[in-house]
Structure 1
Amino acid sequence: MEIENGMNQQIILKQRPSGTPNTDTFEWTKTPISAVQEGQLLVKTLYLSVDPYMRGRMSDRKSYVPSYELGKPIEGGVVGEVLESQSPDFHKGDFVLGGYGWQTYATVSAKTVRRIDPTLAPLSTALGILGMTGLTAYFGLLDIGRPQAGETVVISGAAGAVGMVVGQIAKIKGAHVVGIAGSTKKIDYLINELGFDSAISYKGDIPLHKALATACPHGVDVYFDNVGGEISDAVLRRLNKGARVPLCGQISSYNLEKPDIGVRPQTFLLINSALMQGFIVSDFAKRFPEGIKELAQWVNSKQLKSQETIIDGFDQTVNAFLGLFTGDNLGKQLVKVADPSHG
């Protein structure tokens, strides 16, 4: 992808969605590329990330991050290549990780990106297993879940980007790992490729509560919750004494127009002296180097596998995002926008 007439393509938030977003939620625009000033970089997008949390930012309501502004590009993780630098800390050809989102180019402050070493791992992993995805799994499971050898760890959304990393780390720690996913393909992958002890389809013929009873005969010690809703209702009923529940996501409710009313968790937490703690990965920002170092060691020793679903083409970004809510992706969902200019 070359710079075309000095123009930058962007996908902006056109209107706030009611329920599930669709193509009318977004608008494709072109805007001139801004000149690079002192302390800035011109970055070409190579890969961009689409993530479930983005749905929450499309609504105008209080959350842990500000809502997206109407008429502005959707913000999110990006791996890019520096085309021009007015900063002594970066040079043309450097690869960087930033958060400028759904656009083909960006003129950004050098202070808002960090350099990526392409010799350590593929560039795309900076948005996945060696980025926020892996760090979310690492800190959520180890700091809140605290799995012990022999304990049972259950993960909802287990074939998603975070879930599959959680399961593998739990296996490294010696736990009995049970994943919940939505298709036979995903179940097979979790068991046969990632080494989960068991996996359950929430769309299967066997009711989920019965499948859980079979897969977790000794109850649940750690439940890593990515999904919420009826799946979590079923798991909470099987918590053991002293169980821990890292609350990472609630994708089942992101597109609901009215609050989800289901089983209330207080009774299960009380009678089992259990802990449920919500978190966001930025809570652990000061410890990111620790997490990346440990994750990289597991990746390099083949203890930790990475799975990505990559769709080619900036024009496919919205389709890739909408596919998150129908379970199209296996692992981290990325959009490849361009190839590097060199190497």
Structure 2
Amino acid sequence: MTLRGPRSGLGSQCVVMVVVAWVICVSRVEGSSSLLLQVTRAEGTEGPEVEVTWKLPGQHHQALTLTWDAVTYTSQVTFKEVGNYELDPSTESFLIKEGLKYDRQYRVCLVREVAECEHLSSVCSFVRVPRIPQNKAHTGPWLYLVLGPVHSKNLTVVWGTTHAPESPSNPRPSKGFRITWRRVEGRVGHPGHASNLVSSRHLIRGLIPGTRYEVCVGETLTADAHLTCDVITTAEDVPGPPVTEAGSCRSQAQGTHWRCDVTWMAPEKTHGRITGYLVEWKDKEGYVLMESVPKGTLCQTRCYEDQVVNFLPSEVCVSARTRAGLGWESCVPIHDVSERILAFFELKVLVVIGVTLVLYQLGPALLRAIFRCCVRGLYRHIEGQKEHPV
């Protein structure tokens, strides 16, 4: 999760106060009303459920995101995100069903975007899912799960049985396993995939680079609440091409310097987190005249960059970069602004000359045709008057 700090020059400073309680956590932003989040435990029929309710002051027009993390206490407290959901601003409650396990503590956070401060303010609450009831206790063998190696689109999953207690309900080892995986981020998440196997190893293909997935494994007839699960993020890959919109140049010094600019949008397929862009100004043969790396905060929607170039470029190319490397480039042709104006007037002159030539060649014939048409019409009108005198 990336937090954007407030811009310099703002008159007010945003302060977020998070009060963690058993079921209530209140966040206050300076200059605004309090934000209340309530987390209540609920017992589901198939597994644990957590119902989250909140109250937003004023109109519900902010962008809201609900996240829930599994909390682990060792030498230090660690959080592993197991769910991420973009909420409808008009709703005031949400029922969490996916990614929860019995006898685990979770941190539930409601993140909203404050337009006047241009950063993310969040309010969180901790809740612990109780132990599994005796009537729902797992009687089969427990599995351990090993994920790796992890690639950008593929993931190897290996699992094994820790122990298989003998009981009347489980007289012999399992004859099959079930493995499921789903994406745990996005507005609607991912419906997930499932496969029934007899082996203890599986290669998952077709994953999205730089995306969090939850992988679960268990016996074929094991309930979803008793599966052994883990959350992992696939490796990043080179991003796709940005959406380059337009580029133009204007003369800065006669024949020696041009100030050129270009606008573009972020790639549709980022394949990870964009860490920067590369802008290249090229001539007609593809030779790079000059390149630039935009500085400062990375743009979110539309990006802009300008630079002084010693030679007039023919096109500009933009490519994005992730930790995996530089991605595909997107190029658009550019022209000098003065040349565009001159070409516009030249086009008008050509149109006028063309119309003049057409009139010169077809003018006499058109005039004769019009004259004959008028004479014939007048003659027919006079003949009609003679046949029907008043």
Q: Sort the TM-score into its range (normalised by shorter chain).
A: under 0.3
TM-score (structure 2 length as normaliser): 0.22
Q: Which has the higher contact order (CA 8 A, sep 6+)?
A: 1
TM-score (structure 1 length as normaliser): 0.24
More helix by share: 1
